[in-house]
Chain A
Amino acid sequence: MATTSPTELRAGQQATGRVRIAALLQRQGALIALVLLVLFGALRYEGFLGGYNITEVLRYNSMFGLIALGMTFVIMTGGIDLSVGGVAALASVLAALLSPYGMLPAVVVPVLAGLLVGLLNGVVIARLAIPPFITTLATLLAARGMALILANNASVSVDSGAGFASISLGSVFSIPLPDGAFNVTIPLLVLLVAYALGSLALNYTRFGRHVLAVGGNEEAARLMGLPVARIKISVYAINGALAALAGVILAALTFTGLPTEGLGWELSAIAAVVVGGTLLTGGMGSVGATLVGVLLLGLIFNILNFENGRGVVSLSAYWQSVIRGVFLLVVIILQNRLAGRRQ
């Protein structure tokens, strides 16, 4: 047996150390960037960490968080869902139309409608073997068309008398902070519960393992006897329901059902998932990382607002999408490089 010289050993350790740092960066890079961005904001802008700002940022981004959560599961199976923006618009219209009849129908019916669209996506993809990209493109058009038909080509006002509006205004409890109290709003609570359930499902249930198995190697999963079709149908159905829930929140936040809203939401959600670190090839992913991705992309808008408020540099709202795109670019290139080094 050959003995290893100390220098060789040290070199090996250094190499694995570097590999470990690369792996850590790939897995937690988004989190590190988020922490840095929050620190930057906190030091530079007054009120950035105030209760009012935190409440608003989290309330607004809860919609995107819900969609990105469902999208994470879809992407982990190796699929994609472009229909979410249309489903959210449809759900917001349904919620507004049903708001006079009380809270329950205005929430349950839209979510069921979203679930149905998701089921349709899943059945067509899993049973008819039509590519997810094309299938969900078609249901995107269909859902948006349905929303326009139901809304009669105009936005629909939410009935303010019934209890529905309280979804956006209600606060479950609040924590006093400088610059106003931090309110845990209902949208935020829904988001937190959804992510907790999503994380549990992915890490501690058979369903979660099956999702990863299907995305990792569909043929192998089939040969192992996993119900591949049923798993795929489930993730699209869940994503449809979550997108609809986001639409219900949209209606509650804006007091309107908006048939034309949600343009490009599907791609923002995909961007958030990718920024979080989930690979589009499926087979791996993390629910928490997606939440980090959503907050990261959401904070860029928030920081832009604060920066304009300072009046030193003035960047129009249009810069938002440029910066988001550049951000996505940096993240995917870094991830790619880091993943390459680890192999």
Chain B
Amino acid sequence: MTNLDQAASARRLTLPGRLGSVGQAYGALIALIVLVLYNVLFTPNFLAAQTLNINLTQVATIVIVATGMTLVIATGGIDLSVGSLMAISGALAPIIFLGKLVPLNPLVGTALAFIVPVLVAGLFGLFNGVLVTTFRIQPIVATLVLFIAGRGIAQVVTNGNLQAFRNPGFQYIGLGRPLGIPFQAILMLLIVALVAWVMRTTVFGRYILATGGNEAAARLAGVPVNQIKRMVYVISGLLAGLAGLIVIAINSSSDANLVGLNMELDAIAAVAVGGTTGGRVTIVGTLIGALIIQLIRFTLLAQGVPFAVAQVINAAIILVAVYIQSQR
């Protein structure tokens, strides 16, 4: 048998295996396409601009938070605090632009209302990162601290009161429609593209994968593991802070009891469905995962299935998706 024959037979052998792996690699994408097709055929007005915008508006915050969560999970960690950090940033922004703390020029106030809350959320993310690295506390426990205390901080800051406001400049982040597209959807795409690019082409991206793949080996190879881990928690915090601003801008009010509630669950589910695990990352997968979760919810509600039943079906689909992903 010549070498050529061997190569040919090897190729033949792997063909069915390859078909199987296509199913796994693109399983989430196929599911998304099926969902979209189903809706195009059976949901009236699914392709109407209004329906598309509603879906985009609702999915944008999940995607933004889930992108940060993807990086954290890729290093082998988890971030339970994202919902609470959203509540903190959502509580801070109105305090700033309403001038409750110090009276500010409206323009300066609005600008600061974008910057300060996001930075504060980033600092809390750094706090998570320090607990995980310097104090070597397991991520799930370390971020549990702010999951519990974070919402409390937001509630204490606002005394649990609803802050209602009208500030078109600030609310552009949630209500703006450049070219008819929701502003936060554009923001979401920019963030996804930027992070996907970082993961694919930069050393930082490689380091994240190395850290999640085999931490001890990465350390020995000279990867600044602790620094990388702190960075991903900071990024997760920053993105959660941004998502908090979008949510309160849409609602024209900030309720510390509700902003970002259960967001950690949605984000983790999106990442899991997308196929990211420690050492393997797919930002586009996370985007697809979040879209799937959003579309399932939308489809079931559009078909008149009660929210509660939709939740049960959602749970089953997450399990099936993760099972398929884990078979790789």
Q: Which residues of A contact B (CB under 8 A)?
A: 80, 124, 128-131, 133-135, 137-142, 144-149, 153, 264, 267-268, 270-271, 274, 280-281, 316, 318-326, 328-329, 332-333, 336
Contact = CB atoms under 8 A, between A and B. Distances in A.
Given A274-B141, A321-B151, A146 B312 contact: yes
B268 A325 contact: no
Contacts of A326: 149
Contacts of A137: 265, 268-269, 318
A146 B311 CA distance: 9
Contact of B322 (A134, A281, A318): A134
A280 B265 CA distance: 20
A145 B315 contact: yes
A149 B308 contact: yes
B137 A333 contact: yes
B156 A319 contact: yes
Contacts, number: 133
Interface centre among B309, B312, B315 (most CB of A within 10 A): B315
Interface string B169-181: 0000000000000
Nearest to B144: A267
11 contacts: A130-B326, A149-B308, A271-B148, A280-B140, A280-B141, A318-B155, A321-B148, A325-B145, A325-B146, A325-B148, A329-B149
Interface of A is mostly: helix
A260 to B, nearest CB: 11
B103 interface: no
Given A130-B323, A281-B138, A145 B309 contact: yes
6 nearest CB pairs, A to B: A325-B149, A321-B152, A148-B308, A145-B311, A318-B155, A322-B152
A149 B306 contact: yes
A336 B159 contact: no
B68 interface: no
B38 interface: no
Interface centre among A80, A130, A274 (most CB of B within 10 A): A130
Contacts of B150: 325
A92 B323 CA distance: 31
